[in-house]
Structure 1
Amino acid sequence: MHLKEKLLTPLATPSITFKNRVVMAPMSRRRSRQGIPAPTAPLYYGQRAGAGLIIAENSAVAANGVGYLDAPGIYNEAQQAAWKKVVDAVHARQGKIFVQLVHTGRIGHPLNHEGRAPLVAPSAVQAAGLMRTPGDIHLPMPEPEALSTAGAKALVDAHIQAAISAIETGFDGVEIHGAHGFLPEQFLHPHTNRRTDRYGGGIANRSRFLLEIMEGVSAAIGRERTGIRLSPFAVLNDLPAYAEEAATHRYITNALRELDTLYIHLSSQPLNGQPSISTEYIQEVRRRFPNLLILAGGYTAGSAEAALQAGLADLVAFGRPFIANPDLVERFRHHAPLNEGNPDTYYQGGDVGYIDYPLLSL
């Protein structure tokens, strides 16, 4: 099976054309002091513009949504100006780039927030685990403040405003982070959502926060520029499995079909030696959702091609291989070996382990 059959061929939609089916997955690299992407971020992303689509790392829509130390935001002018340089670098190399918009909710620490803004969440349910804070000090995540109904709506609006800012900055689109145990998934999950207002209770109410974001962003910037990342069954960030999880995600998938969302990006995680998202579930999403489907989770060139050939996906996202291989698409094209990444520099290290991985010499 030749890789060029599908993985490296273009994909055209009425609104956007991808030069290949290889997506650079959004990966937090935590090199954004005060939430401002690093001066070398344009080089980092520009080096990787061979991807059919780059989804830039999750960027906070509000000061209290940053979560991790030195993660970027897109809620103020300094952050947006830095992101514009990234966008320009990718476009100069004929790349396409979306940005992933995030609010991490209860996952974080006020010491990592501008103005030490407190953590907020659907309900006051503390997350287990430690968070790295300035000085390389790891502290427990505090109990979050429960959002009022107006406060929840304000964070829906913050996502919409961040999407507008992203398009004004030059991004080709946005991906809403509805995955990995962050705020939208905290609303979906009965463990973290114990509310009794319009954002709590049954599946429709728990899904409302996420779907209001999708509806509002689609209206503001166009549904053809709006994607979403979901991670059903992944049990990340202290969210246990729950009885209504499959039913909740069916409800969301049907709603996204009605909204005509550009794509769903499914993030699978290793769970007891198996992918958290089964082939059967992917096939079900394909039946329910006619638009683009991106799969992520430990794919190789070969397994990505197989997924495309089987009709399971339209595009396949690669994470860590893109950290160590800025020219990943060319390496796939030439069946070249891949560089090994250095995990010690994934989330720290300045330019070391960021922009200095060697390119293929042909």
Structure 2
Amino acid sequence: MTAALFTPVQVGNMTLQHRVALAPMSRNRASVHGDPTDIMVKYYKQRATKGGLLISEAVSISATAGAYVQTPGLFKDTQVQKWKKVTETVHQQGGYIYCQLWHLGRTSTSALMGSQIVSASDIPIKGVPIQDIGGYTTDVYETPRPLTQPEIKTIVADFAQAAENAMAAGFDGVEIHGANGFLVDQFINSSSNNRTDDYGGSSANRARFALEITDAVVSRIGEEKTAIRLSPYGEFQDMNDDDRVGTFSYVTQQLQNKHPKLAYVHLVEARLDQDRSQTLAPFRAIWQGPMVVAGNYSEDYKEAYAQTEKHANTIIAIGRAFLANPDLVERIRNHWPLNKYDRDTFYAIGTLKGYADYPTYQQTMQA
């Protein structure tokens, strides 16, 4: 039943030995200066497997890219040097690790930024701010300032420089964070972008920022070390688009046309009561390379079997269950029961608890 999950697949320059990847998860365990810490080294080491892919938590591309409390960056030499400790320990286990790069845009706060937050347009997020990962208290989201075109070009360059920094830190590649309501996603979706210039209006214009970032990163580090994450059906952080399938099909088609050798495209599936493969069917019909998929596999990880049976180039990204089970790959391989994750400690800032203290199956058996 698990056979397809444990067959090799070529992804960029990597030959993966299995299809279970660590999904990117921000967990607020960096230092107050945005440097990776020793507990982060331990966390990634615990989850590294021979020929397995880890995708790092989101990493800020610059000092002006926004932040949550104690989330890491990759724009200072000290950060590069400390990320080396993470990548070296993953490689010592025989694993691979990609660095997810982000700009928060309107999801950050001026309290942490020291200046007004920015976005595609001056449209604030509706609803009550996420308090547990923001580290600040406010009743409403702030109204962002629309980025100017010169500022957009600067951010594109920042992504490219951060990708180069990731290579210097020993990462095997980078994943552009274009999902979940952060800046790249804010440009793509019509609900957060009402611009009237070259970066607004049509799907093609709204996709321009994401595609320019991809071009810039590819130019700096190469197609086979570059990936991008998208969430076509995402509603998190007030995301919506007038034509989800049409808009994200356009993005996917441009990636296929211009950069068919990207390491992978990472898609977040819709949480719909239907066949999972159908939600991504329009994009699978376009993208011909490896695809990482993520979407509630922590609750129903056995569905990962079916997805890899149906789709030869599919890798399954698992988050919460991989957090709670450092030996998740072996648990799936051997059908061992899983530890339950503790949601209350997901964002326990700077602490080992609920992060790098979950036992392996063997440790539980020996206790």
User: 1:347 — aligned with what?
Assistant: 347
- The residue correspondences of 1:6-85 to structure 2 (distance < 5 A) are 6-13=4-11, 15-32=13-30, 33-50=32-49, 52-85=52-85
1:265: which partner in 2? 266
Decide whether aligned partners of structure 1 residues 83 and 191 sit closer, same or farther in structure 2, where only a CA change above 3 A counts: same
The SS at the match of 2:207 is: helix
Cα distance in 1 for partners of 2:102, 2:108 equals 12
Q: In structure 2, how many angstroms separate the alpha carbons of the residues matched to 1:328 and 1:348?
A: 22
Alignment pair present for 1:130 and 2:129: yes
Q: Is the 8 A contact 1:57 1:100 kept in 2?
A: yes
Match of 1:110 in 2: 110
Q: Assess if the C-alpha contact under 8 Å between 2:132 and 2:347 holds in 1.
A: no
Which residue identity is paired with 2:189?
H
Q: Kindly indicate whether the alpha-carbon contact (under 8 Å) linking 1:64 and 1:110 is maintained by their aligned counterparts in 2.
A: no
| CA 78–6 in structure 1, closer or farther in 2 if over 3 Å, else same | same
Name the structure 1 match of 2:118.
120
Q: State TM-score, norm by structure 2.
A: 0.91
**Equivalent position SS for 1:163:** helix
1:249 is matched with which residue? 248
Do the aligned partners of residues 342 and 8 (structure 1) sit closer, same or farther apart at CA in structure 2, a change above 3 Å counting?
same
CA distances 1:3-62 after superposition (whole Å, capped 9, x unpaired): 1x1112222356211121110000011111222122211110000002710000011112
5+ long unaligned stretches in structure 1? none
Residues 180 and 231 of structure 2 are in contact (CA less than 8 Å); yes or no, is this contact kept in structure 1? yes
Alignment correspondent of 2:206: 206
Q: 2-side partners of 1:304 and 1:313: how far apart?
A: 13
Aligned length: 354
Aligned partners of 1:231 and 1:143: how far apart in 2? 23
Structure 2 SS opposite 1:46: helix
Equivalence for 1:169: 169
The alignment's C-alpha RMSD in Å is: 2.0
Distance 1:134 1:228, change over 3 A: closer
Distance in 1, Cα, partners of 2:269 & 2:226:
21
- CA distance in 2: counterparts of 1:313 and 1:21, whole angstroms: 9
The answer (yes or no) to whether the contact 1:70–1:112 under 8 Å persists in 2 is no
Match of 1:192 in 2: 192
C-alpha contact (below 8 Å) 2:12/2:263 kept by paired residues: no
Confirm or deny: 8 A CA contact 2:290 2:314 kept in the other structure: yes
Using a 3 Å threshold, how does the CA distance of structure 1 residues 252 and 137 change in structure 2: closer, same or farther? closer
Q: Describe the superposition over 1:288-345 as per-residue Cα deviations: whole angstroms up to 9, x where unpaired.
A: 1110011111224421111111127521110001111001111112211111111111
Contact 1:188 1:206 in 2 (8 A): yes
Between 1:341-350 and 1:19-28, the stretch displaced more is 341-350
- Residue 158 of structure 2 corresponds to which residue in structure 1? 158
8 A Cα contact 2:123 2:143, kept in partner? yes
Contact persistence 1:59–1:66 (CA under 8 A): no
Secondary structure of 2:125's partner? coil
Distance in 2, matches of 1:134 and 1:96, equals 27
**d(CA) in 1 for partners of 2:313 and 2:12?**
18
CA contact (8 A) 1:286 1:312 kept: no
Matches within 5 A, 1:215-254: 215-240=215-240, 242-254=241-253
CA deviation profile, 1:193-225 (whole Å, cap 9, x unmatched): 121222112111111000000111111101001
Q: 1:34 to 1:286 in 2, by over 3 A?
A: same
Deviation at 1:270, TM superposition (A): 3.0
Q: Alpha-carbon deviation of 1:112?
A: 2.4
Q: Kindly provide the CA deviation profile for residues 162-219 of structure 1, in whole angstroms up to 9, marking residues without a partner as x.
A: 1111011110000011100111111112222121222112111111000000111111
Query: Is 2:329 the counterpart of 1:335?
Result: no
2:28, 2:133 within 8 Å by CA — same for their partners in 1? no
Inter-partner Cα distance in structure 1 for 2:287 and 2:134: 46
CA displacement, residues 220-243 of structure 1 (integer Å, 9 cap, x when unaligned): 101001111111112110123x32
Deviating beyond 6 angstroms after TM superposition, the runs of 4 or more aligned structure 1 residues are none
Go from structure 1 to structure 2 and tell me whether the alpha carbon gap of 1:356 and 1:14 turns closer, same or farther (over 3 Å shift): closer
**1-structure distance, mates of 2:176, 2:107:** 17
TM-score w.r.t. structure 1 length?
Answer: 0.92
2: CA distance, partners of 1:14 / 1:294: 12
CA offsets per residue over residues 121-164 of structure 1, 9 Å max, x none? 11111113324489954223311111111001111111111111
